[in-house]
Amino acid sequence: MISGQATAPAPSSARTPAPAPSSAAARSAADAGSGKGAILRAARRAFTQRPYAEVTIRGIAADAGVSPSLVVKHFGRKEELFNTVADFGPAAAELFDAPLEALGRHMVVTLVNHRRELQSDPLLRVVFSLGNQDERSLLRDRFHEQVTDTLTARLPGRERALRAELIAGHLLGLGATLSLHREGAGADATTEHIADLYAPALQSLIDGA
């Protein structure tokens, strides 16, 4: 669970077709550093920073240093590319892939390792879209469905939706502060040590204590 994606092929077979539908996270794992990875990073930047109507394949291609036709070849047209970027399903599958009694630590370790290995956060891009009021609510709708609602369904006990929202907050906040303090103390700390300090809060909300 540390080095790979739960739903992605192993890195050594990354270039073979994935059995599951392709997705942003699976593609990130397979294509980190390649042209595809650069296109996805550019697409995430574009879709989270500009109104949907202002985003162009040409602009994403220029940002990624590739031709517009290569973008379309790999990911299809604008709507398809947006759907790929807005998919939190594989990230959620990986984050939630642990028994309840170990889920808090698993989520923290998985999130930090994902960030360090893929140079991207599995969830944080939904926050970049918050300042905007336009059709990009798809990103938020997907987050609700694939992250918050999925987590709510896993939790035992009372006030499951509220606890799931607060757990999502802890996860988003961890990504936010690590992004914000790229050269800070968190950057020097081991994943396990960050989990020692940060995961008890998540586990407490999971347990419903």
- Give the footprint of a second copy on this chain (CB under 8 A): 44-45, 48-50, 124-128, 130-132, 140, 143-144, 148, 159, 161-166, 168-174, 176-181, 184-186, 189, 194, 197-198, 200-201, 204-205
State which residue, 97 or 149, has the beta carbon closest to a second copy.
149
Following DSSP, what letter does each residue of 126-173 receive, concatenated? HHHTTT--STTHHHHHHHIIIIIHHHHHH--SS-HHHHHHHHHHHHHH
Q: Which positions ≥6 away from 53 have C-beta within 8 Å? A: 134, 135
Smallest gap from Cβ 133 to a second copy, in A, equals: 9
Q: Which is nearer to a second copy, 10 or 162 (CB)?
A: 162
In the complex, least distance from residue 62 CB atom to a second copy, rounded to whole angstroms = 15
Residue 69 beta carbon to a second copy: minimum distance, rounded to whole angstroms: 26
**Distance in Å, CB of 78 to a second copy, minimum:** 19
Q: How far lies 120's CA from each of 24, 34, 124, 178, 180, in Å?
A: 11, 14, 9, 11, 13
Burial of 191 by CB count in 10 Å (0-12 exposed, 13-18 middle, 19+ buried)?
Answer: middle
Least gap, CB of 15 to a second copy (angstroms): 29
- Select 73 or 193, whichever has its Cβ closest to a second copy: 193
97 or 165: CB nearest a second copy:
165
Query: Is 77 or 181 the residue whose CB approaches a second copy more closely?
Result: 181
Q: What is the spatial distance between Cα 198 and Cα 108, in angstroms, rounded to a whole number?
A: 7
Residues 160, 149: Cα–Cα separation, whole Å? 10
